[in-house]
């Protein structure tokens, strides 16, 4: 039943990922919204003009945006787009530049020559470092009426320079050259040069930007546990553990063992795993991969399920054994001081990742059947706290659904090992858990 549940959830996640990735790409969103103009056009034939910055700076960004938009509009199929080379040829014949088609007269003339009912144009505007606002509109060539418009924000993948700044620098240079001044003679002063510490220069690759994030997640867990009790100074009898080891129907003090081991027992989940983590990913400039690190805190409660298993006594004899209840032992685990090193495929929307993590756990072990020393009294129940060592391998998918938010799905394999002693001298009781977990959650970046 659990395997079928995992398969169903995984299928839903993969289907969701495909749909979301197709829908939330900002270029695809803009293409979809602009294509709705086909409802107001007869032939649905348009021309896409390269976008331009509002401050008239020189940039390749406008051409890149127009090309990406063209590809997606053609793919949707609601509008027919004139080939860019044909558009450039017609504009040359009309003695127009790409950025000249802004008034009603020029729009009408271009529309008549190309045989298009509308043109798509727009503007670019920087809103914060690395991000650009795109405002696009569909303009009817006959009336210069705006039929529909679209607005998105994207990450800038091009570089540009300001025309205003270039002109200002040029004018400053010209003023300096055309107004020379005759220097006055001054007697050179003899001064002792002051020592200055040489400045350090860096000639390597530029440092990567950092994208901090916080994730909140929950999920399901399926795992096994190995449990052993060992004491060579004070043998362990059946009453200590409340287990009829020899199967005679009685709990005997006279039947004692040096070591008792159970392996591969199934664990159930008493509460849904919950967690929160904070970390960062780098923003690579020249490749598709980014490195990251996170710090995590999480909690899970598990119990030993009713089952038929095997037991090994004194490291020599192994035979079948039955646990008849689901409450023989319970383990609550709080994960602290744990971190993961991550590598992520950096994409605008769809970001799979894999990592490796280590950490420390605080484990509470309880049982209403097992005896331990309580302030010098040997009695039930067992209640121990132990520090454990955690190792995990997370494999996940992060899906951006906005500038600062994302959905995530993650599968991880983990082990958690620790020991306790029931308050008995020279006793070492060990628990080692191996489990797989499936998480879903929400992420926020800054």
Q: What is the pLDDT of residues 326-383, one digit of tens each?
A: 999 999 999 988 999 999 998 878 999 999 999 999 999 999 999 999 999 999 999 9
Total-model pTM: 0.58
Q: What is the pLDDT of residues 242-252, one digit of tens each?
A: 999 888 888 88
Distances from the Cα of 438 to the Cα of 219, 222, 428, angstroms: 5, 9, 32
Rounded CA-CA distance 122/66 in Å is: 9
Least confident window among 80-89, 204-213, 271-280, 337-346: 204-213
* Torsion angles phi and psi, residue 50, rounded to 5: -55, 135
Which among 305, 343, 312, 356 has a CA at the least distance from the CA of 326?
Answer: 305
Where residue 303 falls among pLDDT bands split at 50, 70, 90? very high
Look at residue 180 in the predicted model and tell me its pLDDT.
47
Q: Are 401 and 407 in contact (CB under 8 A)?
A: yes
Rounded CA-CA distance 431/421 in Å is: 11
Q: Is the pLDDT of residue 195 over 70?
A: no
Where residue 63 falls among pLDDT bands split at 50, 70, 90? confident
In eight-state DSSP terms, residue 101 is T
Q: Is the pLDDT of residue 179 over 60?
A: no
Q: Is the pLDDT of residue 427 over 80?
A: yes
Q: Is the pLDDT of residue 294 over 50?
A: yes
Look at residue 23 in the predicted model and tell me its pLDDT.
46
Q: Is the pLDDT of residue 38 over 70?
A: yes
Q: Which pair of tokens denotes residue 412?
A: 């991880």
Mean pLDDT of all residues belonging to the chain: 83
Look at residue 97 in the predicted model and tell me its pLDDT.
62
Q: What is the pLDDT of residues 223-244, one digit of tens each?
A: 999 999 999 999 999 999 999 9
| Average pLDDT of the residues in 292-321 | 94
For CA atoms 144, 148, 153, 155, give the dihedral sign.
negative
Q: Which pair of tokens denotes residue 255?
A: 């039947």
In Å, how far from its chain's centre is CA 163?
38
Look at residue 114 in the predicted model and tell me its pLDDT.
82
**Could you give all domains of the chain from N- to C-terminal order, each with its CATH number?**
29-161 (3.40.50.10610), 209-445 (2.40.160.20)
Look at residue 169 in the predicted model and tell me its pLDDT.
40
Least confident window among 138-142, 216-220, 434-438: 138-142
Look at residue 205 in the predicted model and tell me its pLDDT.
39
> What single string gives the DSSP state of each residue in 306-349?
SEEEEEEETTTEEEEEEE--S-S-EEEEEEEEEEEEEEEE--SS
Where residue 24 falls among pLDDT bands split at 50, 70, 90? low
Look at residue 237 in the predicted model and tell me its pLDDT.
92
Q: Is the pLDDT of residue 217 over 70?
A: yes
Which parts of 207-347 fold into alpha helices (H)?
Answer: 238-241
Rounded CA-CA distance 125/129 in Å is: 11
Name residue 398's beta-bridge partners: 351, 408
Look at residue 95 in the predicted model and tell me its pLDDT.
67
Rounded CA-CA distance 287/122 in Å is: 30
Q: What is the pLDDT of residues 97-143, one digit of tens each?
A: 655 555 677 778 878 888 889 989 888 888 888 889 999 999 988 88
Look at residue 334 in the predicted model and tell me its pLDDT.
97
Rounded CA-CA distance 388/394 in Å is: 19
Where residue 286 falls among pLDDT bands split at 50, 70, 90? low
Rounded CA-CA distance 49/66 in Å is: 7
Task: Find which of 137-151, 159-173, 381-395 is predicted with most confidence, using mean pLDDT.
Answer: 381-395
Which among 262, 268, 269, 240 has a CA at the least distance from the CA of 308?
Answer: 262
Higher pLDDT, 40 or 361: 361
Q: In this prediction, what percent of the chain has a pLDDT beyond 90?
A: 47
């Amino acid at each position: 039943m659990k395997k079928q549940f995992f398969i169903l959830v995984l299928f839903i996640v993969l289907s969701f990922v495909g749909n979301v990735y197709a829908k939330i790409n900002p270029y695809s969103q803009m293409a979809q919204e602009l294509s709705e103009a086909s409802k107001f056009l007869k032939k649905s034939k348009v021309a896409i003009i390269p976008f331009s910055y509002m401050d008239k700076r020189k940039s390749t960004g406008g051409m890149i945006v127009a090309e990406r938009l063209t590809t997606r509009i053609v793919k949707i199929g609601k509008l027919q787009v004139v080939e860019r080379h044909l558009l450039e040829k017609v504009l040359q014949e009309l003695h127009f530049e790409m950025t000249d088609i802004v008034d009603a007269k020029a729009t009408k003339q271009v529309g008549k020559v190309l045989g298009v009912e509308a043109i798509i144009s727009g503007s670019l505007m920087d809103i914060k470092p690395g991000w650009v606002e795109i405002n696009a509109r569909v303009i009817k060539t006959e009336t210069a009426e705006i039929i529909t418009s679209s607005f998105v924000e994207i990450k800038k993948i091009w570089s540009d320079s300001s025309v205003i700044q270039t002109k200002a620098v040029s004018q400053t240079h010209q003023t300096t050259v055309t107004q020379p001044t005759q220097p006055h003679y001054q007697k050179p002063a003899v001064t002792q040069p002051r020592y200055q510490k040489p400045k350090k220069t860096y000639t390597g690759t530029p440092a990567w930007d950092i994208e901090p994030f916080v994730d909140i997640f929950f999920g399901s867990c399926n795992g096994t546990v190995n449990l052993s009790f060992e004491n060579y100074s004070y043998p362990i009898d059946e009453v200590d553990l409340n287990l009829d080891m020899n199967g005679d129907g009685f709990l005997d003090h006279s039947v004692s063992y040096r070591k008792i081991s159970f392996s591969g027992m199934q664990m159930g989940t008493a509460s849904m795993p919950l967690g929160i983590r904070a970390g960062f990913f780098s923003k690579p400039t020249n490749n598709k991969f980014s490195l990251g690190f996170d710090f995590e805190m999480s909690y899970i409660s598990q119990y030993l399920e009713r089952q038929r298993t095997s037991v090994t006594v004194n490291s020599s004899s192994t035979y079948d054994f039955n646990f008849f209840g689901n409450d023989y032992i319970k383990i609550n685990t709080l994960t602290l001081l744990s971190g993961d090193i991550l590598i992520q495929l950096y994409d605008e929307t769809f970001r799979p990742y894999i990592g490796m993590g280590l950490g420390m756990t605080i484990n509470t072990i309880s049982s209403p059947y097992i005896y331990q020393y309580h302030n010098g009294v040997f009695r039930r129940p067992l209640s121990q706290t132990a520090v454990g060592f955690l190792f995990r391998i997370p494999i996940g998918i992060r899906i951006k659904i906005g500038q600062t938010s994302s959905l995530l799905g993650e599968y991880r394999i983990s082990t958690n090992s620790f020991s306790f002693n029931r308050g008995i001298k020279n006793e070492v009781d060990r628990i080692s858990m191996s489990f797989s977990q499936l998480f879903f959650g929400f992420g926020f970046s800054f």
